[in-house]
Amino acid sequence: MTSKTNVAPMGGACDNRFTRVRDAFAQCLETGLEHGGAVSVVVHGKTVVDIWGGYADAARTRPWQRDTLVNAWSVTKGIVALAIAMLVDRDKLDYASPIARYWDKFSAGGKERVSLDHLMSHQAGLNGLRVPIDEAGLIKGTPFLDALAAMSPLWEPGSRCIYHTFSYGSIAGETVRRVDGRSVGRFVAEEIAGPLGAEFHIGLPESEDARVAEMLEGPRASEWIADVRASAFPHSCENPVPRALAPNLRTWRAAEIPGANGQTTARAIARIYGMMALGGRWEGMRMMRQSAIEEAIRPRFRGVDDSFGAPAAFAAGFQIDDPHYSSRASTETFGHNGWGGSAGFADLGAGVGFGYVTNLMLGFDDLDPRRKVLVDAVYDALQS
């Protein structure tokens, strides 16, 4: 624990039954584990927690507001997984089909049998590039996509799992564009965020910059990158190397980086997962069939992620069996965490949608107990 620090007053509200979630969040702020952030919980379609606090900038001059946006890193992967699931539900995509069926040039280099399922479960053999590329190439998009389309797999697809940090989102996003005609950012805006009244931007207009929180790199936030790059597998960390403070650049915010640069709120994440927790329904709308959600969350991989050397479990783009909630939630729980702290998940068994965002990126659970503390408080409330 760090020493106590002067924090901004908290805002928002929660149902009386869930005051322990507010208390857990307040404790994180008071002890300095949290600089600025928000947490939101939806249960059976009703928002029971929607709170925020701390500061949106390093100088502590901007208190976190109800509408503060923040880069949620790989929480974005779960929203892209939902976009893919919706297109599967509409018979525009098939998880078992080769990606080359939708993107002709992707078949180059012997990738003609790499399936959407391989990609969504980080088993595609495309976790890195054989050629160097800088952050500008990732932000521009086309250079990164062209390199991925031209390359051969780094290892036999389906033979192991190595986390696809950036390539997961870029390839999935291009697949969405090929079958739908819209970029994945536009699809999310028009088919998910808009109907749900849930702000989730993959590609942020400059007009919204004043609401965006400044990202801060805390202790050991980037330590995993060195560990991954030192692992036994080639290109086991993406080119380019992720940078914790890249989201503070206007060019990063403007780009569509579908594995990493979603700008959002905890409320939006909770509403999106809350819709899935209701089987695809929300306030009288049918967003997708429950059977499509069930197919999307079917396990594709359980084992060891060879980049991290740690247990991992993936459905079609969603993390499952996550230790932050697996001991408390139902077996039908799925979502995606983000680098440094942010998280979102749905628990079908309990009807729960959960969202948490932060601008203080911390490393590993011994330094960052925030997700576990907040999730435990939710389930303590549910079981009280």
Query: In this predicted model, what pLDDT tens digit does every residue of 368-379 receive, in sequence order?
Result: 999 999 999 999
Do residues 291 and 306 touch, judged by C-beta distance below 8 A?
A: no
Number of domains in the chain: 1
Residue 5: inside a domain: no
Q: Is residue 18 part of a domain?
A: yes
* Whole-number pLDDT of residue 1: 37
Structural domain of 150: 11-382
d(CA 78, CA 27): 28
Residue 4 above 90 pLDDT?
Answer: no
Average pLDDT, the chain: 94
Write out the chain in H/E/C secondary structure.
Answer: CCCCCCCCCCEEEECHHHHHHHHHHHHHHHHCCCCEEEEEEEECCEEEEEEEEEECCCCCCCECCCCCEEECECHHHHHHHHHHHHHHHCCCCCCCCEHHHCCHHHHHHHCCCCEHHHHHCCCCCCCCCCCCCCHHHHHHCHHHHHHHHHCCCCCCCCCCECCCCCHHHHHHHHHHHHHHCCCHHHHHHHHHHHHHCCCEECCCCHHHHHHECCCEECCCCCHHHHHHHCCCCCCCCCCCCCCCCHHHCHHHHHCCCCCCECEECHHHHHHHHHHHHCCCEECCEECCCHHHHHHHCCCCEEEEECCCCEEEEECCCCEECCCCCCCCCCCCEEEEECCCCCEEEEECCCCEEEEEEECEECCHHHHCCHHHHHHHHHHHHHCC
Examine the pLDDT at 11 and tell me if it is beyond 90: yes
Q: Express each pLDDT in 303-350 by its tens digit.
A: 999 988 889 999 999 999 999 888 999 999 999 999 999 999 999 999
| pLDDT (mean) for 140-153 | 96
Instruction: Give tens-digit pLDDT for 56-74.
Output: 999 999 999 999 999 999 9
Q: What pLDDT is recorded for position 208?
A: 98
Average pLDDT of the residues in 137-152: 96
Region 229-240: mean pLDDT is 65
- Classify residue 225: in a domain, yes or no: yes
Which residue carries 């994945």 as its tokens? Answer: 184
Calculate the alpha carbon distances from 331 to 42, 284, 313, 318, 338 in Å.
18, 26, 13, 14, 21
6 part of a folded domain = no
Q: Mean pLDDT lowest for which of 195-209, 218-232, 293-307?
A: 218-232
56: in domain: yes
- In-domain check, residue 364: yes
Q: What is the CATH number of the domain that holds 229?
A: 3.40.710.10
Residues 203-220 have a mean pLDDT of 97
Q: What pLDDT does 366 receive?
A: 75
The verdict on residue 86 lying in a domain is yes
pLDDT at position 234: 62
Closest listed residue to residue 308, CA positions, set 333, 337, 345: 337
Instruction: For residue 349, give the amino acid letter.
Output: G
Q: What is the pLDDT of residue 6?
A: 60
Tell me if 1 is assigned to some domain.
no
pTM of the model: 0.96
Work out the pLDDT band at 122, boundaries 50, 70, 90.
Answer: very high
